[in-house]
Amino acid sequence: MFHYLLQSQRAGYCRLLMTLLCLLVILPPAVAQSGARSIKQKRQPSSDISPIAVAKQAAESLDETARAMTAACRERELDPQGSVPIDVLQARPSLPLAHGAVVAGVERAERLLPVAKLLAAESLTELARETGVNRVALREGLRRVRRVTMITPDMELRDNASVLFAEPRAIRFGTLFLAGLNSDESMISVLAHELTHVTDGPRSSLSPLFRAVARRASRAARLRLSAQRGEELACDLVGVMATRRFITQTPTLEPRARRAARAVAHNCVVQDATDASHLSPRTTMRALLALEPAFARDITGEAEAFAPPAAPPRSRRRKATTHHVPR
């Protein structure tokens, strides 16, 4: 009996040993070495930002742009100086040169032209530094800007403005456009747009800048832009940048959100038509707000939330120094 039990115990040990050997063959090394701590982890992506985070950022950017577009058009409706939308202007007959609103528009444009020239030059210099525009070509273009001194009303241009190389001293405005731009901010925006064309000149000196803006817009607003549309969008971008500078340099009691909205309010159209050279008005507004998130926050009123808190004043001894006031 004892001999039989001993044989049964040996058979059980053999079966257990065979089972362990099978497990070692079938299971991967990492599981077999369960007592080891050196199991390799999966390699993480090289980027610090996951695709999910990138998608989330893009969605937040689109939401911010949509909010700013809604806010801009709402401000236009409430603003006594709100611009007339382009599609409304297009449905109207051209105004004669002596019409009161046209005369007032010419006076506004002539008064703001010297300021717009300075602000456009500052904005173009900033963009040129970022996009690698030739400095000599930029200086030559800004000399052409300084020569512009005239505003010429034109019934045939209707709701447009333009510059002609045959008339280097003038910016031509459609009479409808002059009557439809009811604020200094909207006029600065359009003047700076046209002065960017003047800077570009007959040799297309700003082509690198236009291409860079088109690339940025393709990423920020998910747009595909032809060369001509990239140029027009870049001119609009300079208009927005110049308007932001104008608002900062000329503080008023009006809300900043309302003043900022005036730079793009003429794009608040119902009939969103387009052509080969321009994005549609609403697409233009969307692209500008995506390109300039700070401008979008100006319009929504969210800019203050992103502003750093003011530092408390420091007490310090006065020194007998001479302060040079910039002229």
pLDDT at 276: 86
Which DSSP state fits 28? -
The answer to whether residues 220 and 148 touch, using CB atoms and an 8 Å cutoff, is no
pLDDT at 20: 52
Residue with tokens 């832009």: 225
Give the dihedral sign, CA 61/63/66/68.
Answer: negative
pLDDT tens for 85-125 read 999 999 999 999 999 999 999 999 999 999 999 999 999 99
Mean pLDDT, rounded, for 245-272: 97
Question: Would you tell me the crossing angle of helices 281-291 and 293-300 to the nearest 10 degrees?
Answer: 110
At residue 11 the predicted structure's pLDDT band, cuts being 50, 70 and 90, is: low
Mean pLDDT, rounded, for 219-244: 94
Indicate the pTM of the whole model: 0.76
DSSP 237-254: HHHHHHHHHHHHHS--SS
The answer to whether residues 237 and 284 touch, using CB atoms and an 8 Å cutoff, is no
* Rounded Cα–Cα distance for residues 198 and 165 (Å): 8
pLDDT at 10: 52
Which strand (E) or helix (H) includes residue 289?
helix 281-291
pLDDT at 275: 87
Instruction: Decide which of 223 and 149 is more confident.
Output: 149
Average pLDDT over the chain, rounded to an integer? 82
pLDDT at 4: 41
Find, among 246, 248, 235, the residue nearest to 291 by Cα.
Answer: 235
Residues 6+ apart with CB under 8 A from 207: 200
* Rounded Cα–Cα distance for residues 18 and 307 (Å): 72
Domain ranges of the chain: 81-300
* Rounded Cα–Cα distance for residues 89 and 103 (Å): 17
Question: CA angle, 265 as apex, 263 and 266 as ends, to 5°?
Answer: 105
pLDDT at 61: 54
Mean pLDDT, rounded, for 26-43: 38
pLDDT over 80 at 283, yes or no: yes
